[in-house]
Chain A
Amino acid sequence: AMAEQKFRVRARALVCVFVCVVMCGCGRDDFQEELVIRPLHSGDIYTSFQFRTLWETDFTRENKVSHYRLFPKSLGQVISKFSVRELHISFTQGYWRTMQWGQPYLPSPPGAELWVWFQDSLTDVDGTWKELTNVLSGIFCASLNFIDSTNTVQPSASFKPLGIGNVTDHRFLRYATLPREIVCTENLTPWKKLLPCGSKAGLAVLLKSEKLFHSSFHSQAVHIRPVCKDDQCKTTSWELRQTLNVVFDLHNSGQGKNEWSLFKMFSRTLTEACPVASSSKIYIDITDNSQGEQFELSPATPLLSQAVVLGDRRTFSVYDLTQQITFGTMRSLNLLIRGKSSDMLRPLLHAERYVAGYGLQTGEIHTLMYNNHPYRSFPVLLLDSVPWYLRLYIHTLTVTSKGKDNKPSYIHYQPSKDRVRPHLLEMLVQLPPNSVTEVTLQFERALLKWTEYTPDPNHGFYVGSSVISSLVPSIVAMDTNNSRERPLFSSFFPSKEESSYFVRVYTEPLLVNLPTPDFSMPYNVICLTCTVVAVGYGSLYNLLTRSFQIEEPSPGLAKRIANIIRKMRGVPPL
């Protein structure tokens, strides 16, 4: 054991020396990892992993970047080849229950979601989008190749760039969702491979798929964007964030006991931080636990941190994994969290969506948006992307709040074109304080060609989640100094002003049935319809080409044979 330890120390030293030598040569890159654990008041527990790589390099310059260290080469090549400015991709299994769990640090819709801002020097955005989705489909082992023009939209206001950028021309933005996409181990494995330490060291050792997918909510995402290094923004670097959010259910994973530990959640404990990480921390949200009455943490830690996140000042217990004493004498860290957290703050913005109506001819989409702020009203941007086979009637759009008509101040509607593009509806709606706003829209269901149905047509067709983006008034002053060192989870959405923070809420995806033709009948239908056309043709042909004649009765068989013989003999017939 002593020899082993000495060997490990020497290996680490060598690695550090090598890293220092290399770092002097090219752009500095930096890797940070963190895990945030937030017990929820329903007894479930929310864990959010964030891995961030910052790299000062320029993917857009002529000579290609060839020396990759912490930044994954596959993603770097994607950025330079497809002139990507920002890329956000998420794979989610389950639906985030805002009313029970509060607001997530990083929202994501069920299924797969991909939105990309391209560089404004790109000429053929649609062709590049198609290639990009196919390449990403290979990198993440997901069926992103189903993204085509029938489910891609160009939102004009809802998806502004999250990094620095002057591009606001929405011709360079593409947004697509695949609500039907299922997330499983095949998607987690390539995602883990993108991390600098892989799943061998640091926080990523906890990511074991048997436990992660046995949860109420699982979301993994990759976000790439250019960020400023400092306030004056003299240099820009590329930021790659890989995030993984999991909510473990009290009864499924917790066996009904309000006692959570790293081993219980992930079936692993932590032994070391990732050697190439500059910071590796675990934050436990203890805000609702001021006197240690509600729950207890073990092992105890002296480090405390405060951060303003989601409009609220939260207190966190911090475990720094780069310090050896965190791991104690056993050289392994198994956090134990016992007890329940108190009631959470009611989320200020929350939304629901459902389909109303009966039968397979028409229907109505209802979107309900709740503003739970007692006295402030704020505007929200609602983005709806509906597939072309649900034909929306925009003249039936009604927006009502508190029983009265509430006219949206901005409507951007792009009607669908059959088999080419979907409907896009973006609206700016002012939500009055403490109210429910209901948006209803009627649609008609189309009959598709028999080859356009999925193999299980009676399962229904998915309509992607609506996206509701808003600047929600904040109780505490938000930190607008974006370059200061902050925990990763509080620095994802940049705050431009102190009195509000950005929130994005995704509604449920819808499942809609369409009328189906009989799939066993193509040949029969062709024959029968052609028969009817032939009946018409035949009757008219007869009447047009034939004329009326007096019918002579034909003689009997014997007479006819006799006539034939007589003809042969040259004698007149009977």
Chain B
Amino acid sequence: MAAPLTLLLLVAVTVRAALFRSSLSELISERVEVVSPLTAWKRVIEGLALLDLGVSPYSGDVFHETPLTIYLFHFLVDYAEVTFMLADVITAVALYMAVKDYNKQVFRKQKFALEADRYPLDCLELIRSPKEMYYIPLKVAMFYLLNPFTILSCVAKSTCGLNNAIIALFILSTIKGNVLLSAIFLSLATYQSIYPLTLCAPALLYLMQRQYIPVNFRRASFWWFIVQYAFMYLGSLFVIICLSFFLLGSWDYLPSVYGFILSVPDLTPNIGLFWYFFAEMFEHFRLFFLCVFQINVFFYTIPLSIKLKEHPVFLIFMQLAVISIFKSYPTVGDISLYMAFLPVWSHLHRFLRNIFLVSCVLLACSALFPVLWHLWIYAGSANSNFYYAITLLFNVAQILLVSDYFYAFLRREHHLTYGLYLKRKDGSEATLVLK
């Protein structure tokens, strides 16, 4: 499997290198769908220029990257293109290895369940075979690397690529069962943008499953593991934050980075829901709705964890999707990360209900974003409502996609427990509904 992966990496790197050299790279790095005030490369350069002038980059409101990012790019600013291509490659390889390991475990669990006769007889066609699971890791890497969203994000040199790499390494270390590395990468991901904090729940569930610790509130081993993980996570977060303090000698970065993510002062249009909402918000209610929208991102963690406690990797997928849709400054780079997981659930396709509609809407919206932006900003013949409408539609399509996959997953689990061909009391074919 190494050879097809290497070939894929070569193709991906070639495509990115070709686009870097073309005139499109300037155009792409200005697009608001691809870069946000948090991740734009222009702002990283601005921060470095402010440092050169002797002014703290956080004294203004242009630069919102973490100090470790400044430190990294202080040395790598001349090799920026290579850095971002390398970040994409690392993400793809990490996801490849993670999914490969996950598939092995899925297959092993399935084998035990079959031997224990836990599946009803008529749902044997739902059982997965190694042959169909063989190409899934490669497909995941391909979905990530050759996704136009990822390519655009890389060519724009958006630091979203680095965040995705850190999250992918976190997923890899979690699936491999390495508790320390998982905590370290999670703290790095949280340090970069606050939202990956919600990924600690699936990480805990997965690691406990792997170490055969029962997920039961009354058990001491459950709490002991949580304490261990929390200690490692908080310890590495503390180290990183103190390191950032010593790099620039002040705590200015805390309001500039985290205050900015949470309080959304910059209303630059993007593909998310926040900008127009807070541009049109009545001043009196601004704080209230800000809290509502921010809590909305973290709010689904506990219910989803309770429902999906046997399936933590699907929970990771759901959490990544919720973060990408509802975060304060989303970009297409965030979307490409959770879309890379879709081949892992390719066995659910027979239960998906809206996939055609959703994919059509996503394609149409992706095409309409630049058109309506041009009409609003350059031609002046449309106004902001047009762009806003496409934003709404895009987010509805993403929500439908995610909930559709959730529905299909739950349905398959139901069939695996109760049988595939269900009959009603009078013997005719039954229809399943959610009640």
Residues of A within 8 A of B (CB): 358-362, 388, 391, 393-395, 411, 413-419, 423, 446-451, 515-518, 521-522, 525-526, 528-529, 532-533, 535-537, 539-540, 542-544, 546-552
30 pairs, A vs B, C-beta closer than 8 Å? A358-B378, A359-B378, A361-B378, A395-B48, A413-B50, A413-B55, A415-B50, A417-B61, A418-B266, A447-B268, A516-B383, A517-B279, A518-B385, A521-B280, A521-B385, A526-B280, A528-B392, A529-B276, A536-B322, A539-B403, A539-B406, A543-B307, A543-B403, A544-B307, A547-B434, A548-B411, A548-B414, A548-B433, A552-B424, A552-B425
B122 is an interface residue with CB less than 8 A from chain A: no
Q: Which residues on the A side are within 8 Å of B300 (C-beta)?
A: 540
Q: Which residues on the B side are within 8 Å of A551 (C-beta)?
A: 430-433
The 8 A CB mask of B398-435 against A (1 = contact, 0 = none) is 01100100110011001000000010110000111111
The answer to whether B303 touches A544 (Cβ under 8 A) is: yes
Q: Which of B46, B268, B433 contacts A394 (CB 8 A)?
A: B46
Main secondary structure of the interface of B (DSSP, over half): helix
The answer to whether B385 touches A411 (Cβ under 8 A) is: no
Q: How far is the CA of A533 from the CA of B325 in the complex (A)?
A: 10
Q: Which of B62, B275, B278, B380 contacts A415 (CB 8 A)?
A: B62
Across chains A and B, which 7 residue pairs bring their CB atoms closest together, nearest first? A415-B60, A395-B49, A539-B403, A546-B434, A359-B378, A522-B280, A525-B280
Q: Which of A395, A517, A529, A549 contacts B384 (CB 8 A)?
A: A517
Given contacts A415-B55, A447-B279, A526-B280, contact A536 B431 (CB under 8 A): no
Q: Which residues on the A side are within 8 Å of B433 (C-beta)?
A: 548-549, 551
The answer to whether B61 touches A532 (Cβ under 8 A) is: no
The answer to whether B62 touches A393 (Cβ under 8 A) is: yes
Q: Which of A532, A537, A542 contacts B392 (CB 8 A)?
A: A532
Query: Interface size for chain B: under 10, 10 to 19, 20 to 34, or 35 or more residues?
Result: 35 or more
B15 is an interface residue with CB less than 8 A from chain A: no
Question: How far is the CB of B80 from the nearest CB of chain A, in Å?
Answer: 14
Q: Which residues on the B side are within 8 Å of A526 (C-beta)?
A: 277, 280-281, 289
B53 is an interface residue with CB less than 8 A from chain A: yes
Q: Which residues on the A side are within 8 Å of B400 (C-beta)?
A: 535, 539
Most A CB contacts (10 A, CB to CB) among B30, B55, B280, B431 go to B280
Q: How far is the CA of A361 from the CA of B49 in the complex (A)?
A: 22
Q: Which of A359, A448, A539 contacts B399 (CB 8 A)?
A: A539
Question: How far is the CB of A530 from the nearest CB of chain B, in Å?
Answer: 8
B86 is an interface residue with CB less than 8 A from chain A: no
Given contacts A448-B279, A515-B384, A552-B425, contact A532 B45 (CB under 8 A): no
Most B CB contacts (10 A, CB to CB) among A415, A416, A521 go to A415
Given contacts A522-B281, A539-B400, A544-B307, contact A414 B424 (CB under 8 A): no
Question: How far is the CB of A550 from the nearest CB of chain B, in Å?
Answer: 4
Q: Which residues on the B side are within 8 Å of A548 (C-beta)?
A: 410-411, 414, 432-434
Interface positions of B from 317 to 365, Cβ below 8 Å from A:
322, 325-326
Given contacts A517-B279, A518-B383, A544-B307, contact A532 B273 (CB under 8 A): yes
B144 is an interface residue with CB less than 8 A from chain A: no
Given contacts A394-B53, A548-B414, contact A449 B267 (CB under 8 A): yes
The 8 A CB mask of B267-311 against A (1 = contact, 0 = none) is 111000101111111110000010001001000100110010000
Q: Which residues on the A side are within 8 Å of B431 (C-beta)?
A: 550-551
Residues of B within 8 A of A (CB): 30, 32, 42, 45-46, 48-50, 53, 55, 59-62, 265-269, 273, 275-283, 289, 293, 296, 300, 303-304, 307, 322, 325-326, 376-378, 380, 383-385, 388, 392, 395-396, 399-400, 403, 406-407, 410-411, 414, 422, 424-425, 430-435
The answer to whether B293 touches A449 (Cβ under 8 A) is: no
Given contacts A362-B30, A550-B424, contact A525 B265 (CB under 8 A): no
Given contacts A415-B62, A549-B433, contact A518 B53 (CB under 8 A): no
Q: Which residues on the B side are within 8 Å of A546 (C-beta)?
A: 434-435
The answer to whether A536 touches B425 (Cβ under 8 A) is: no
Q: How far is the CA of A394 from the CA of B57 in the complex (A)?
A: 11
Q: Which residues on the B side are within 8 Å of A418 (C-beta)?
A: 61, 265-266
Given contacts A361-B30, A395-B49, A451-B283, contact A517 B276 (CB under 8 A): yes
The answer to whether A550 touches B432 (Cβ under 8 A) is: yes
Residue of A whose beta carbon sits closest to that of B260: A418
Question: How far is the CB of B70 from the nearest CB of chain A, in Å?
Answer: 14
Given contacts A415-B62, A525-B276, A533-B273, contact A449 B281 (CB under 8 A): yes
Q: How far is the CA of A419 from the CA of B303 in the complex (A)?
A: 39
Q: Which residues on the B side are within 8 Å of A518 (C-beta)?
A: 280, 383-385
Question: How far is the CB of B343 from the nearest CB of chain A, in Å?
Answer: 22
Q: Which residues on the A side are within 8 Å of B45 (C-beta)?
A: 395
Residue of A whose beta carbon sits closest to that of B410: A543
Q: Which residues on the B side are within 8 Å of A416 (C-beta)?
A: 60-61
The answer to whether B49 touches A394 (Cβ under 8 A) is: yes
Q: Which of B283, B296, B434 contacts A533 (CB 8 A)?
A: B296
The answer to whether A549 touches B432 (Cβ under 8 A) is: yes
Q: Which residues on the B side are within 8 Å of A539 (C-beta)?
A: 399-400, 403, 406
Q: How far is the CA of A517 from the CA of B384 in the complex (A)?
A: 6
Given contacts A414-B55, A446-B267, contact A550 B406 (CB under 8 A): no
Question: How far is the CB of A421 from the nearest CB of chain B, in Å?
Answer: 9
Q: How far is the CA of A200 from the CA of B290 in the complex (A)?
A: 61
The answer to whether A415 touches B281 (Cβ under 8 A) is: no
Q: Which residues on the B side are within 8 Å of A522 (C-beta)?
A: 280-282
Q: Which residues on the A side are within 8 Å of B268 (C-beta)?
A: 446-447
The answer to whether A547 touches B53 (Cβ under 8 A) is: no
Q: Which residues on the A side are within 8 Å of B422 (C-beta)?
A: 550
Q: Which residues on the A side are within 8 Å of B293 (C-beta)?
A: 533
Question: How far is the CB of B398 from the nearest CB of chain A, in Å?
Answer: 9
Question: How far is the CB of A427 from the nearest CB of chain B, in Å?
Answer: 11
The answer to whether B59 touches A414 (Cβ under 8 A) is: yes
Q: Which residues on the B side are within 8 Å of A413 (C-beta)?
A: 50, 53, 55
Q: How far is the CA of A551 from the CA of B303 in the complex (A)?
A: 26
The answer to whether A447 touches B377 (Cβ under 8 A) is: no
